[in-house]
Amino acid sequence: MSALAGKRILLIIGGGIAAYKCLDLIRRLKERGAGVTPVMTRAAAEFVTPLSVGALAANRVYSDLFDREDEQDVGHIRLAREHGLVVVAPATADRMARLAGGLAEDLAGAILLATRAPVLMAPAMNPAMWEHPATRRNLARLGEDGVRFVGPGTGEMAEKGEAGVGRMAEPLEIVAAAEAILSPKERPLAGLSAVVTSGPTHEPIDPVRYIANRSSGRQGHAIAAALRDAGADVTLVSGPVTLPDPQGVSVRHVETAAEMLSAVEASLPADIAVFVAAVADWRVAAESLRKIKKTAEGPPSLALAENPDILATIGHHAKRPGLVVGFAAETDDLLANARNKLERKGADAILANDVSPEGGVMGGSDNTIRLVTADGVEEWPKLAKDAAAGRLAGWIAARLGRSVRK
């Protein structure tokens, strides 16, 4: 039985092109036994009709804060209190800004301020709007206020030729997020702290160029979220990525390997450390303060220096976490290199994955992992990176055993 069976969900439909997905979202929620009460903003009615929404929800559609009949019994308060979850989809930049600022200029805003139920937002907007500093501030404020988020995803936009982060999560993703909020979860890592690294590092050559790699940060960010969901207090040290920060996680943004190591050491002591970041092995020994120009003498000679080895440093650190997990991204001799890394770097486990171009792991959405420990090799099937992260969180909980505080 779904965790949504018998639950009453208030769905606020915002004014964006992604509003059409809410018709399918209503159907998916009702399939799982949830009752859906729709609230449409004035702008939402420009994209989908109240008739379609009401027919699918088998319920009245609310839209007017000053409706004489509804407000005789202070309808916005009643709607806010009668539901176990409020979902906002699509959550536009404007709606996020209004809630972050505490505005209640319409029925949706009044409900969001009055509700005591969890609020789940599914943002949807143009990538430029999502990346705007104002939206980032509002996202952080809403997260501090306890609002949960699902998405946005990456893909093509309604605007011709535009793509990036900003697509509303698909209906089944929103349903899964709602189920996670409304179903009690085991939190085997409650009371423990974890530090996770994610993404690439950028090692500057001159003011406009740098050494980097193709890491998207998806796996590291997913692991940080999975450890959070398992109850851990998580610090994520992230290199430059285009992903949104996981909610409920303390995030430290860095650029270089040296900055990443410094941020990790500042996060100690910790019970768990998972090093997922694809850290550049080398940096330019002497970064140019001016842009290097082409000359008749040909390409410049770049002297390289070795970057600090973050996994080895923490694996042998005076404040070494109780459990240290590293990643081995290899194109050849996968298991041999992973075993060597396990021994040399003081790790308890190495997650080995083949990052050959044909596999599509770097920057992709799936991963095939071999878990290497002193006890042997555990082969995992090909999994979505979120699923792989959940499996790792379960392995960590099992590995810690009695030391995990329930």
Residues flagged as binding site: 281, 291, 308-311, 327, 341, 345
- Select which of 126, 138, 213, 307 is catalytic: 213
**Catalytic annotation present for 126:** no
Q: What is the C-alpha end-to-end distance of the chain, expressed in Å?
A: 26
Strands 233-238 and 250-253: parallel
| DSSP-derived pairing of the beta strands 304-306 and 282-284 | antiparallel
- HEC letters along the chain: CCCCCCCEEEEEECCCHHHHHHHHHHHHHHHCCCEEEEEECCCHHHCCCHHHHHHHHCCCCECCCCCCCHHHHCHHHHHHHCCCEEEEEEECHHHHHHHHCCCCCCHHHHHHHHCCCCEEEEECCCHHHHHCHHHHHHHHHHHHCCCEECCCEEEECCCCCCEEEEECCCHHHHHHHHHHHHCCCCCCCCCCEEEEEECECCEEEECCEEECCCCCCHHHHHHHHHHHHCCCEEEEEECCCCCCCCCCCEEEECCCHHHHHHHHHHCCCCCEEEECCECCCEEECCCCCCCCCCCCCCCCCCCEEECCCHHHHHHCCCCCCCEEEEEEEECCCHHHHHHHHHHHHCCCEEEEEECCHHHCCCCCCEECCEEEECCEEEECCCEEHHHHHHHHHHHHHHHHHHHCCC
Q: Residues at the annotated binding site for CTP?
A: 281, 291, 308-311, 327, 341, 345
CA 385 to chain centre: 11
Active site residues: 213
